[in-house]
A and B are shown apart, each in its own frame.
Chain A
Amino acid sequence: MKFSVTVTLKKDVLDPQGKVVQNTLHNLGMENLKSIRQGKYFEIELDDNDQKKAEKKIDEMCKKLLANLIIEDYKVNKI
Protein backbone atom coordinates (compact mmCIF):
# COMPACT_ATOMS: atom_id res chain seq x y z
CA MET A 1 0.00 0.00 0.00
CA LYS A 2 1.41 3.33 -1.05
CA PHE A 3 0.78 6.77 0.37
CA SER A 4 1.93 10.27 -0.34
CA VAL A 5 2.60 12.75 2.41
CA THR A 6 2.84 16.47 1.75
CA VAL A 7 4.30 18.63 4.48
CA THR A 8 3.72 22.36 4.23
CA LEU A 9 4.46 25.33 6.46
CA LYS A 10 1.52 26.62 8.48
CA LYS A 11 -0.15 29.74 7.14
CA ASP A 12 1.37 32.20 9.59
CA VAL A 13 4.95 30.86 9.39
CA LEU A 14 7.34 32.86 7.23
CA ASP A 15 8.52 30.97 4.13
CA PRO A 16 11.51 32.93 2.80
CA GLN A 17 12.39 30.17 0.31
CA GLY A 18 8.90 30.21 -1.20
CA LYS A 19 9.13 33.99 -1.39
CA VAL A 20 12.42 33.85 -3.33
CA VAL A 21 11.00 31.25 -5.73
CA GLN A 22 7.96 33.45 -6.22
CA ASN A 23 10.11 36.54 -6.94
CA THR A 24 12.25 34.59 -9.40
CA LEU A 25 9.22 33.27 -11.28
CA HIS A 26 7.90 36.80 -11.36
CA ASN A 27 11.22 37.94 -12.86
CA LEU A 28 10.88 35.21 -15.48
CA GLY A 29 7.73 36.91 -16.64
CA MET A 30 5.19 34.62 -14.97
CA GLU A 31 2.19 36.81 -14.43
CA ASN A 32 -0.76 36.72 -12.04
CA LEU A 33 1.36 34.89 -9.49
CA LYS A 34 -0.40 35.34 -6.16
CA SER A 35 1.76 33.34 -3.77
CA ILE A 36 4.06 30.33 -3.48
CA ARG A 37 4.64 28.21 -0.41
CA GLN A 38 7.37 25.59 -0.51
CA GLY A 39 6.92 22.21 1.14
CA LYS A 40 8.16 18.61 1.28
CA TYR A 41 6.80 15.51 -0.39
CA PHE A 42 7.23 11.86 0.70
CA GLU A 43 6.14 8.61 -0.95
CA ILE A 44 5.76 5.82 1.58
CA GLU A 45 5.14 2.17 0.82
CA LEU A 46 3.76 -0.02 3.59
CA ASP A 47 3.56 -3.77 3.79
CA ASP A 48 -0.01 -3.75 5.07
CA ASN A 49 -3.36 -4.70 3.55
CA ASP A 50 -5.55 -3.02 6.12
CA GLN A 51 -5.96 0.55 4.94
CA LYS A 52 -7.22 1.88 8.28
CA LYS A 53 -4.22 0.41 10.08
CA ALA A 54 -1.83 1.69 7.43
CA GLU A 55 -3.26 5.19 7.60
CA LYS A 56 -2.86 5.17 11.35
CA LYS A 57 0.77 4.19 10.96
CA ILE A 58 1.43 6.94 8.42
CA ASP A 59 -0.22 9.45 10.72
CA GLU A 60 2.10 8.35 13.52
CA MET A 61 5.13 8.74 11.22
CA CYS A 62 4.07 12.27 10.37
CA LYS A 63 3.58 13.25 13.99
CA LYS A 64 6.77 11.61 15.24
CA LEU A 65 9.22 12.65 12.55
CA LEU A 66 8.11 13.82 9.11
CA ALA A 67 6.43 17.03 10.22
CA ASN A 68 7.16 19.41 13.06
CA LEU A 69 3.67 20.37 14.15
CA ILE A 70 4.80 23.69 15.62
CA ILE A 71 5.34 25.05 12.12
CA GLU A 72 4.08 22.44 9.67
CA ASP A 73 0.84 20.76 8.54
CA TYR A 74 0.65 17.49 6.65
CA LYS A 75 -1.71 15.81 4.23
CA VAL A 76 -1.86 12.07 3.57
CA ASN A 77 -3.20 10.56 0.35
CA LYS A 78 -3.40 6.97 -0.83
CA ILE A 79 -1.77 6.58 -4.22
Chain B
Amino acid sequence: MKSSVIVFPGSNCDRDIAIALEKMQFKNQMVWHKETKLPKSDLIVVPGGFSYGDYLRSGAIAGKSLIINEVIKAANEGCLILGICNGFQILTETGLLKGILLRNKNLKFINEDINIKVINNNTKFSNKYKENQVLKINIAHNEGSYFTNSDHMKELKNENLIAFKYCDKNGNINENSNPNGSLENIAGIFNSKKNILGMMPHPERMTDKLISNTDGVNLFSSLLK
Protein backbone atom coordinates (compact mmCIF):
# COMPACT_ATOMS: atom_id res chain seq x y z
CA MET B 1 0.00 0.00 0.00
CA LYS B 2 1.28 3.43 -0.93
CA SER B 3 0.31 6.38 1.21
CA SER B 4 0.77 10.13 1.04
CA VAL B 5 0.59 12.52 3.98
CA ILE B 6 -0.24 16.12 3.07
CA VAL B 7 1.75 18.69 5.05
CA PHE B 8 0.53 22.26 5.64
CA PRO B 9 2.19 25.07 7.55
CA GLY B 10 0.96 24.34 11.07
CA SER B 11 0.41 20.59 10.65
CA ASN B 12 1.80 18.91 13.75
CA CYS B 13 0.64 15.31 13.60
CA ASP B 14 2.17 14.64 10.18
CA ARG B 15 5.25 12.86 11.58
CA ASP B 16 3.15 10.81 14.01
CA ILE B 17 0.91 9.49 11.25
CA ALA B 18 3.94 8.85 9.01
CA ILE B 19 5.57 6.76 11.76
CA ALA B 20 2.33 4.83 12.33
CA LEU B 21 1.94 4.17 8.58
CA GLU B 22 5.54 3.05 8.14
CA LYS B 23 5.24 0.77 11.14
CA MET B 24 2.24 -0.82 9.43
CA GLN B 25 4.35 -1.34 6.27
CA PHE B 26 2.79 1.44 4.18
CA LYS B 27 5.21 2.99 1.69
CA ASN B 28 4.70 6.57 2.73
CA GLN B 29 5.58 9.92 1.21
CA MET B 30 5.18 13.40 2.64
CA VAL B 31 3.60 15.91 0.23
CA TRP B 32 3.97 19.67 0.77
CA HIS B 33 0.76 21.66 0.22
CA LYS B 34 2.26 23.71 -2.62
CA GLU B 35 2.79 20.63 -4.77
CA THR B 36 0.47 20.34 -7.75
CA LYS B 37 0.98 16.62 -8.31
CA LEU B 38 0.32 13.76 -5.97
CA PRO B 39 2.50 10.66 -6.01
CA LYS B 40 0.52 7.53 -6.90
CA SER B 41 -1.25 6.65 -3.65
CA ASP B 42 -3.75 4.12 -2.37
CA LEU B 43 -4.30 6.23 0.72
CA ILE B 44 -4.05 9.98 1.27
CA VAL B 45 -3.91 11.24 4.84
CA VAL B 46 -4.75 14.82 5.81
CA PRO B 47 -3.14 15.02 9.24
CA GLY B 48 -3.95 16.84 12.45
CA GLY B 49 -2.53 20.15 13.60
CA PHE B 50 -3.36 23.80 13.23
CA SER B 51 -2.99 24.47 9.51
CA TYR B 52 -2.56 28.21 8.91
CA GLY B 53 -3.05 28.84 12.62
CA ASP B 54 -6.77 28.08 12.28
CA TYR B 55 -7.18 31.49 10.59
CA LEU B 56 -10.73 32.32 9.42
CA ARG B 57 -12.13 28.90 10.37
CA SER B 58 -10.28 25.69 11.23
CA GLY B 59 -9.26 24.10 7.95
CA ALA B 60 -10.70 26.88 5.75
CA ILE B 61 -7.41 28.08 4.26
CA ALA B 62 -5.84 24.62 3.89
CA GLY B 63 -9.09 23.53 2.22
CA LYS B 64 -8.32 25.90 -0.66
CA SER B 65 -4.62 25.05 -1.06
CA LEU B 66 -3.05 23.94 -4.34
CA ILE B 67 -2.66 20.25 -3.50
CA ILE B 68 -6.29 19.99 -2.41
CA ASN B 69 -7.47 20.02 -6.04
CA GLU B 70 -5.44 16.85 -6.55
CA VAL B 71 -6.83 15.31 -3.36
CA ILE B 72 -10.39 16.02 -4.56
CA LYS B 73 -9.58 14.50 -7.94
CA ALA B 74 -8.10 11.39 -6.33
CA ALA B 75 -11.09 11.10 -3.97
CA ASN B 76 -13.49 11.21 -6.90
CA GLU B 77 -11.50 8.43 -8.55
CA GLY B 78 -11.99 6.27 -5.46
CA CYS B 79 -8.68 6.78 -3.66
CA LEU B 80 -8.95 6.23 0.12
CA ILE B 81 -8.77 9.48 2.08
CA LEU B 82 -8.33 9.73 5.84
CA GLY B 83 -8.69 13.08 7.62
CA ILE B 84 -7.75 13.17 11.28
CA CYS B 85 -8.63 16.09 13.57
CA ASN B 86 -7.61 19.22 11.62
CA GLY B 87 -7.62 16.88 8.60
CA PHE B 88 -11.34 16.19 9.23
CA GLN B 89 -11.96 19.94 9.49
CA ILE B 90 -10.10 20.47 6.19
CA LEU B 91 -12.11 17.74 4.44
CA THR B 92 -15.39 19.38 5.49
CA GLU B 93 -14.11 22.74 4.20
CA THR B 94 -13.28 21.19 0.81
CA GLY B 95 -16.76 19.71 0.62
CA LEU B 96 -15.46 16.12 0.40
CA LEU B 97 -17.27 15.48 3.67
CA LYS B 98 -20.51 17.21 4.59
CA GLY B 99 -21.08 19.13 7.82
CA ILE B 100 -18.67 21.18 9.87
CA LEU B 101 -16.74 21.06 13.15
CA LEU B 102 -17.75 23.85 15.51
CA ARG B 103 -16.09 25.19 18.64
CA ASN B 104 -16.32 22.74 21.55
CA LYS B 105 -19.45 23.31 23.57
CA ASN B 106 -17.47 24.08 26.74
CA LEU B 107 -15.17 26.50 24.83
CA LYS B 108 -12.13 24.61 26.06
CA PHE B 109 -9.37 22.84 24.21
CA ILE B 110 -9.83 19.18 25.15
CA ASN B 111 -6.82 16.87 25.27
CA GLU B 112 -7.98 13.62 26.76
CA ASP B 113 -8.13 9.88 26.22
CA ILE B 114 -11.82 9.19 25.68
CA ASN B 115 -13.89 6.24 24.46
CA ILE B 116 -15.48 5.81 21.07
CA LYS B 117 -17.69 3.06 19.70
CA VAL B 118 -17.26 1.49 16.27
CA ILE B 119 -20.64 2.04 14.58
CA ASN B 120 -19.91 0.72 11.08
CA ASN B 121 -17.23 -1.96 10.82
CA ASN B 122 -18.14 -2.90 7.28
CA THR B 123 -15.81 -0.46 5.50
CA LYS B 124 -12.27 -0.40 4.19
CA PHE B 125 -11.24 1.66 7.23
CA SER B 126 -12.87 -0.38 9.98
CA ASN B 127 -13.19 -4.04 8.93
CA LYS B 128 -10.69 -5.28 11.52
CA TYR B 129 -12.79 -3.86 14.36
CA LYS B 130 -15.86 -5.55 15.78
CA GLU B 131 -19.22 -3.80 15.51
CA ASN B 132 -19.88 -1.79 18.68
CA GLN B 133 -16.29 -2.33 19.86
CA VAL B 134 -15.28 0.32 22.39
CA LEU B 135 -11.89 1.93 21.83
CA LYS B 136 -9.84 4.15 24.08
CA ILE B 137 -8.39 6.91 21.98
CA ASN B 138 -6.95 10.40 22.33
CA ILE B 139 -8.72 13.57 21.27
CA ALA B 140 -6.99 16.97 21.20
CA HIS B 141 -9.05 19.74 19.68
CA ASN B 142 -10.79 23.06 20.15
CA GLU B 143 -13.27 22.74 17.27
CA GLY B 144 -14.64 19.21 17.37
CA SER B 145 -18.35 19.67 17.77
CA TYR B 146 -19.80 18.02 14.68
CA PHE B 147 -22.76 19.81 13.12
CA THR B 148 -24.76 19.13 9.98
CA ASN B 149 -28.23 19.77 8.58
CA SER B 150 -31.13 17.42 9.26
CA ASP B 151 -31.24 16.02 5.71
CA HIS B 152 -27.61 14.99 5.89
CA MET B 153 -28.11 13.57 9.39
CA LYS B 154 -30.85 11.35 7.97
CA GLU B 155 -28.50 10.26 5.20
CA LEU B 156 -25.75 9.49 7.74
CA LYS B 157 -28.11 7.25 9.67
CA ASN B 158 -29.96 5.60 6.80
CA GLU B 159 -26.81 4.80 4.84
CA ASN B 160 -24.77 3.79 7.87
CA LEU B 161 -22.19 6.54 7.31
CA ILE B 162 -21.39 7.17 10.96
CA ALA B 163 -18.01 5.61 11.69
CA PHE B 164 -17.55 6.29 15.40
CA LYS B 165 -19.54 7.79 18.25
CA TYR B 166 -18.28 9.08 21.59
CA CYS B 167 -19.29 6.80 24.46
CA ASP B 168 -18.28 5.91 28.01
CA LYS B 169 -16.07 2.94 28.83
CA ASN B 170 -19.08 0.65 28.94
CA GLY B 171 -20.22 1.81 25.51
CA ASN B 172 -23.09 4.06 26.63
CA ILE B 173 -23.74 6.85 24.15
CA ASN B 174 -25.33 9.83 25.89
CA GLU B 175 -24.80 13.46 26.77
CA ASN B 176 -22.40 12.62 29.59
CA SER B 177 -20.14 10.73 27.20
CA ASN B 178 -20.15 13.55 24.64
CA PRO B 179 -16.97 15.57 25.20
CA ASN B 180 -17.54 18.42 22.75
CA GLY B 181 -21.24 18.77 21.96
CA SER B 182 -21.21 16.88 18.65
CA LEU B 183 -24.62 16.08 17.19
CA GLU B 184 -25.56 12.50 18.12
CA ASN B 185 -22.11 12.03 19.75
CA ILE B 186 -20.56 11.74 16.28
CA ALA B 187 -16.76 11.33 16.34
CA GLY B 188 -16.21 10.27 12.72
CA ILE B 189 -18.12 9.96 9.45
CA PHE B 190 -17.77 8.48 5.96
CA ASN B 191 -18.78 10.01 2.64
CA SER B 192 -21.53 8.23 0.73
CA LYS B 193 -19.05 6.04 -1.19
CA LYS B 194 -17.23 5.20 2.06
CA ASN B 195 -13.80 5.89 0.57
CA ILE B 196 -13.34 8.96 2.77
CA LEU B 197 -13.20 8.89 6.56
CA GLY B 198 -13.00 12.01 8.73
CA MET B 199 -12.54 11.64 12.47
CA MET B 200 -11.62 13.89 15.38
CA PRO B 201 -9.86 11.22 17.53
CA HIS B 202 -6.23 10.37 16.79
CA PRO B 203 -5.74 6.68 15.84
CA GLU B 204 -2.06 7.35 15.02
CA ARG B 205 -1.46 8.14 18.70
CA MET B 206 -2.72 4.68 19.65
CA THR B 207 -0.28 2.46 17.80
CA ASP B 208 2.37 1.83 20.46
CA LYS B 209 1.87 0.12 23.82
CA LEU B 210 4.87 1.93 25.24
CA ILE B 211 3.27 5.38 25.03
CA SER B 212 -0.48 4.66 24.93
CA ASN B 213 -2.30 1.59 23.68
CA THR B 214 -2.83 -0.14 20.36
CA ASP B 215 -6.52 0.61 19.79
CA GLY B 216 -5.68 2.57 16.63
CA VAL B 217 -3.72 -0.23 14.95
CA ASN B 218 -6.75 -1.98 13.46
CA LEU B 219 -7.72 1.10 11.49
CA PHE B 220 -4.46 0.85 9.59
CA SER B 221 -4.51 -2.94 9.33
CA SER B 222 -8.09 -2.71 7.98
CA LEU B 223 -6.74 -0.60 5.13
CA LEU B 224 -4.06 -3.15 4.34
CA LYS B 225 -6.55 -5.97 3.84
Chain A residues in contact with chain B, CB under 8 A? 13-14, 16-17, 20, 64-66, 68, 70-71
Contact = CB atoms under 8 A, between A and B. Distances in A.
A70 B99 contact: yes
Given A14-B102, A14-B105, A20-B107, 6 more contacts: A13-B102, A17-B107, A68-B57, A70-B100, A70-B149, A71-B102
Given A14-B181, A65-B56, A65-B64, A71 B100 contact: yes
Interface residues on B, range: 10 to 19
Contact of A16 (B98, B99, B107, B148): B107
Contacts of A70: 98-100, 147-149
The 9 closest A-B pairs by CB, nearest first: A70-B100, A16-B107, A71-B100, A68-B100, A16-B103, A68-B57, A16-B105, A65-B64, A20-B107
Contact of A71 (B56, B98, B104, B147): B147
10 contacts: A13-B147, A14-B102, A14-B145, A14-B181, A20-B107, A65-B56, A68-B57, A68-B100, A70-B98, A70-B100
